[in-house]
Amino acid sequence: MTLVLVTGATGYIGGRLVPELLAAGYRVRVLSRHAERIASRDWADEVEVVEGDATSRPDLRRALDGVDVAYYLIHALGAGPGFADRDRSTARGFAVVARESGVGRVVYLGGLYPAGERLSAHLESRREVEEILLDGGAPTIVLRAAVILGSGSASFEMMRYLTERLPAMVAPRWIDNRIQPIAVRDVLRYLVGAASIPATVSRGFDIGGPDVLTYREMMQRYAAAAGLRRRLIRAVPVLTPRLASHWVGLVTPVPPAIARPLVGSLVHEVVAQEDDIKRYVPDPPGGLVGFDDAVALALTRIRELDVRTSWVSASTPGAPSDPMPDDPDWAGGSLLVDDRSRTVDTTSEALWTVIEGIGGAHGWYSWRLGWVARGIMDRLFGGPGLRRGRRHPHHLAPGDALDWWRVETIDPGRLLRLRAEMRLPGLAWLELSIEGDDGERPTFRQRAIFSPRGLPGQLYWWAISPFHTIVFGGMQRNIARAAEAHGGPPAPGRHRASRSTTVP
């Protein structure tokens, strides 16, 4: 059986590509920096996992050993200054190791761009990575796509929220540039088909759906599909991509750091100039998925809570990725801890249901105004704020984004540990756990943990310490009350609550 490697398997496209490759009969290996994030996937038991980093050549050699086809699905979208250098360096390393390892085919999903124009930084980086891989020595197929339509894609979510939340809006004049969007299912079909293209073919292909539309037309047709009134859109010449990305960041869950490259790409008309890919991957019997059908499919997935992957799966640029340290010296100093325990008059199952459902539409069970204000402040400083929400309203998995947190560890029924991705002068975690034997009233333990970075981190912690009782005390109290209401009559026994703030 042909062995394929998928990089970026926890991302939006990679997470959907793996099951498609398995269904097509391929053996699949994935390279991931965090193997535990793969474990929660439905297909985890069907793939080989290599834990490592695509920027490490030793890790790449382990991952590419014996591989026939390698999918390069890595892009530093929204990674801030220097992202192009990181893209360039990572692509060069991958190309070198793929050639040395004898990989028979590299497949890269790039961006559709107009020839002969000065490109946005985002598209220019995509074009440069394309050239690096094509010149790398291993036969390479590049698929160039514009806006990808599918539940959870950053481009689709940006369009969805702009249309739903703004019945009237001003927009940049390039809202009338032509775009050729493509449904995510057609992107996946082309990606799977690329694995069997003869090794003598090494080139790029434009891919696009059957419709060529302006962004204005896309928004109006989305509104019709979603049952909304026609939107009033006024184009003005003064909105630069930077200003427009901040506007998108205020209106949608997509932060400016990610909105900026997406908006910058809309400055160009991105229409396929050829359809040569059809010679190797013919259209399905029913043809390609049109814009309206793609939107209808995406909205159905959203309504049915069946969004398999999302743009929020990607790590937040600049956010920490190391697990919570057991040793305070890991950070060169002490961990500051707000530790609270409380016996709850309910069952462990009822308490866990509330804990696992925290965040998103359910909120954080304390001082809503304070959380909202802190979220707005985080957005202003380039963080994710509270608008990312959560993938599923009731269930969490390792690696899931949860507002400005990310799930680091989850032991169902026992422990939920969240790592902060907000802008902070240090590293922070929130740990919610259940202690006690079955049949007893559970003890709900809540720990807020902070590893300060220098004097600013120390000052930050002690400045917000007076609010801990309001924020963390209120959170624990209200979670307990919600669990007691959810779990029915309380069990007999005494109730206790304790609080301690320690500096180990």
In whole angstroms, what is the distance from residue 464 CA to residue 420 CA?
Answer: 16
Q: What share of the chain is helix, strand, coil (3-state, %, to 5)?
A: 40, 20, 40
What is the DSSP code string of 233-299?
Answer: EEEETT--HHHHHHHHHHHSSS-HHHHHHHHHHTTS-B--S--GGGGTSPPPTT-SPPHHHHHHHHH
> Would you tell me which CATH number, out of the four given (3.40.50.300, 3.40.1190.20, 1.20.1090.10, 3.40.50.720), belongs to the domain 3-313?
3.40.50.720
In whole angstroms, what is the distance from residue 334 CA to residue 339 CA?
Answer: 15
In whole angstroms, what is the distance from residue 433 CA to residue 497 CA?
Answer: 15
Question: Which residue reads 């184009």 in tokens?
Answer: 235
What residue segments make up the domains of the chain, in order of their start?
3-313, 328-502
In whole angstroms, what is the distance from residue 201 CA to residue 141 CA?
Answer: 8
Superfamily of domain 328-502: START domain (3.30.530.20)
Name residue 127's amino acid: R
In whole angstroms, what is the distance from residue 57 CA to residue 94 CA?
Answer: 8
- CB–CB of 28/1 below 8 Å? no
- Each residue's pLDDT, cut to its tens digit, for the chain (504 residues) gives 899 999 999 888 999 999 999 999 999 999 998 888 888 788 999 999 999 999 999 999 999 999 999 999 988 665 556 778 889 999 999 999 999 999 999 999 999 998 888 888 888 889 999 999 999 999 999 999 999 999 888 889 889 988 998 899 888 888 899 999 999 999 999 999 999 999 999 999 999 999 999 999 999 999 999 999 999 999 887 767 777 777 777 777 777 777 777 777 788 889 999 999 999 999 999 899 999 999 999 999 888 777 778 766 655 544 555 555 544 344 345 688 899 999 999 999 999 999 999 988 888 888 777 777 777 777 766 677 776 778 788 888 888 888 888 898 899 999 999 998 888 888 889 999 999 876 678 999 999 999 888 888 888 888 888 888 888 889 999 999 999 987 754 444 434 444 444 333
- CB–CB of 408/347 below 8 Å? no
